A and B are shown apart, each in its own frame.
Chain A
Amino acid sequence: MIQASGLRKSYGSTVALDGVDLDVRQGEIFGVLGQSGAGKSTLLRCVNLLERPDQGTVTVAGQEMTALGERELRAARQRIGMIHQHFALLSSRTVAGNVAFPLEVMGVARSERAARVAELLDLVGIADKADAHPGQLSGGQKQRVGIARALAGNPSVLLADEATSALDPGTTASILALLKRLNTELGLTILLITHEMNVVKSVCDSVAIMTGGRIEESGPIRQLLTTPGSRLAAELFPLPAPARGDVTITFTGAAEEPVISQLVRKFDVDVNILGGALEEVAGGSVGRLRVSLDGAESATALTYLRERGLIVEVAA
């Protein structure tokens, strides 16, 4: 749905994007995770050409954005929704007026506008606030208005620029739930950028981790977590740095088999559990366990674990 290739962008001597490729599939929620200054905001703004990349191409829904003239670009942007960290609502208009704004710009007739606005406000759950002004709303309500406004043009893609970073944890959860629902019900493809692992954990199907203008690793979350040496896994499960010989076991799905006790019973090993965690990620659970093995049959025991379908990493 969104393809970017070879994106480069610098501001003076500061390199914001240093050769970035991105592939967001239709119907997925794709998260770009990184600290501030990693270039993720620039990347997002390159998708709808709010920033023009110095090099590289961006294609959204089959249309090459980087090849469009100003007028065509405006038309293309009307089909890409965007929501913002600080909501960016017009304070001079009511909630309904804010949602009607993009429709006005698109030239939708007044009579149709009212019906569409009511429908959108209902969809995001703030139909009762239609005549309120943004100043009278809470942060969560403001973001709902922002989402309704972004959906006005029936976009196939929604760009979310740190959309929950200005919200408290409870409100963040409700906005993320709304995004997930829109993703499922409308088949909306969502590209979001965030510095919060929690956001990625709760709604994303795929993720790209960005540092210093580059993507370090990217792909479906479940797949990344079961890839040895994954940055995502290390950040999601902040276990202490392993000592030489320590074993990290990653498992997905429910932990139904008592593998550790089987291990001790079957082989001549002692198992010492150093740390572990279980997380709900991308609609399933993923666990990580750090152990140290001691005994004559350690190597055989590890092979046994691998045969059970577990990801086993031994610290060098």
Chain B
Amino acid sequence: MTWQEMVPLLGQATWETVLMVVWSTLFTVLFGLPLGVALVGTSRDGLFPSRAANQLLSLIVNIGRSLPFIILMIAVIPFTRLLVGTTIGLYAAIVPLTIGAVPFFARLVEIALRGVSPDVVQAAHAMGVSRLSIVTKVLLPEARAALVAGVTVTVITLVSYSAMAGVIGAGGLGDLAIRYGYQRFETPLMIATCVVIIILVQLAQTLGDAFADRLAKR
């Protein structure tokens, strides 16, 4: 395969991967952030303690975390069909990617929120701040640097997941690597794909770190 043949293929696949990762990150934060807040909130020393709710949420998250992504991805195919109408392509892949990343991100949110000093939460109680306002005005803003770091780690995990999703016809760089690199022995394309993935991950980490640093410094 010539360089001229590879470039458009790589360009198209990179764009698909970026789209998959961006969309699934958005949905992951949308569902994972409240889930993480609920994990911390329902814990014994949380704002809304409930043993039953905490154990249930924790169980759900642990189930999601224990299945290897490649198996989870196939297991949720019926659900994906129900939701998107198809199981092939970029948008269909967003469903398993989100389901795979939400429990992971929720745990990172939990860690970030637990890092907020209990002193500050107690001070807010002493000021007569409502429990809901403590979440939105104290916990989340105080944890924002750690939350951004959590999003960065999640984006990188999603880049890797999205490559695996190539196996079930999701498109993107993983799909390219499997069809050309693995099935047609196009080693140069395989290497090029790897290089692009590495660049994507580097880019995500650098941007995420810079943003988290700016928040932490203030």
**Which chain A residues have a beta carbon within 8 Å of chain B's beta carbons?**
48, 50, 73-78, 80, 82, 84, 86, 88-93, 101-102, 104-106, 133, 135, 149, 153, 159
Contacts and interface: CB of A to CB of B under 8 A. Distances in A.
Contact of A90 (B128, B130, B141): B141
24 contacts: A74-B129, A75-B128, A76-B128, A77-B125, A77-B127, A82-B126, A84-B119, A84-B122, A86-B117, A88-B119, A88-B123, A89-B120, A90-B120, A90-B138, A90-B141, A90-B142, A92-B218, A101-B127, A102-B128, A105-B128, A105-B137, A106-B128, A149-B127, A159-B126
B119 A86 contact: yes
A100 to B, nearest CB: 11
Given A90-B142, A92-B142, A92-B218, A102 B122 contact: no
Contacts of A73: 128
Most buried by A among B125, B138, B142: B125
Nearest to A105: B129
Interface in B113-144: 117, 119-120, 122-123, 125-130, 133, 137-138, 141-142, 144
DSSP majority for the B interface? helix
Interface in B196-218: 215, 218
A50 B124 CA distance: 10
Interface of B: 117, 119-120, 122-123, 125-130, 133, 137-138, 141-142, 144, 215, 218
Nearest to A146: B123
A50 B128 contact: no
B120 A77 contact: no
Contacts, number: 60
Nearest to A75: B128
B128 A92 contact: no
B128 A82 contact: no
B123 A84 contact: yes
B125 to A, nearest CB: 6
A159 B127 CA distance: 11
A295 to B, nearest CB: 61
Contacts of A48: 126
B142 A50 contact: no
A102 B128 CA distance: 8
Contacts of B138: 90
A255 B119 CA distance: 47
Contact of A50 (B117, B125, B133): B125
B113 to A, nearest CB: 13
Given A84-B119, A92-B144, A105-B133, A78 B127 contact: yes
A155 to B, nearest CB: 10
Given A91-B142, A92-B144, A78 B128 contact: yes
Residue picked from A88, A102, A106, A159, most chain B C-beta under 10 Å: A88
A144 B177 CA distance: 61
Contacts of A101: 127, 137
B122 A92 contact: no
Contacts of A153: 127
B130 A74 contact: yes
Nearest to B117: A88
A92 B127 contact: no
